[in-house]
């Protein structure tokens, strides 16, 4: 609600701060129409360079997520696994892939995926948590998982095991 109130105040302030003249234009808009603004070439080049850099940074994660989604729709395990490890990897995609393989009783592949997630992203709580819900985890691994979960979230002592 504060966004609406503050937005309305800004609009009201701009309406009161401009003086109207006879033909409906304001002094501010007349000044803008009279001035010819020249933009330097360096400004245009910097803008285009920034846009290109932003595209290069944002495109690989977008492409990896799009491939992940299309591989899930295909229901082909090899395609899903290939899309799962596509660069740049992220812990959310790896955790999702882990759950897909675990639901399909592919525990060995699920273990491999979530173990890689804990190695690549050691500070991701859910990767460690998902490793902990794996069936047939050794007591030594369970102890390491508890240590890591306690390190990442000391206030949360609940474990499903």
Q: What is the pLDDT of residues 109-120, one digit of tens each?
A: 999 999 999 999
Q: What is the pTM of this model?
A: 0.65
Q: What is the pLDDT of residue 155?
A: 86
The C-alpha torsion from 18 through 23 and 25 to 28, rounded to 10°, is -60
Using 50, 70 and 90 to split pLDDT, how confident is the model at 21? low
- The pLDDT tens digits of the residues spanning 65-77 come to 999 999 988 888 8
């Amino acid at each position: 609600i504060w966004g609406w109130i503050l937005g309305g105040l800004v609009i009201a302030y701009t309406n009161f701060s401009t003086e109207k003249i006879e033909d409906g234009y304001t002094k501010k808009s007349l000044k803008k129409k009279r001035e010819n603004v020249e933009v330097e070439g360096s400004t245009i080049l910097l803008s285009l360079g920034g846009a290109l850099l932003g595209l290069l940074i944002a495109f690989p994660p977008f492409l990896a997520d799009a491939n992940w989604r299309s591989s899930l729709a295909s229901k082909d395990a090899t395609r899903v696994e290939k899309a799962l490890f596509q660069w740049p990897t992220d812990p959310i995609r790896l955790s999702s892939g882990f759950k897909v393989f675990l639901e399909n009783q592919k525990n060995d592949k699920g273990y491999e995926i979530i173990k890689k997630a804990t190695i690549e992203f050691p500070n991701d709580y859910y990767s460690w948590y998902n490793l902990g819900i794996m069936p047939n985890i050794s007591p030594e691994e369970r102890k390491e998982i508890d240590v890591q979960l306690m390190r990442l979230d000391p206030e949360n002592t609940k474990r499903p095991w």
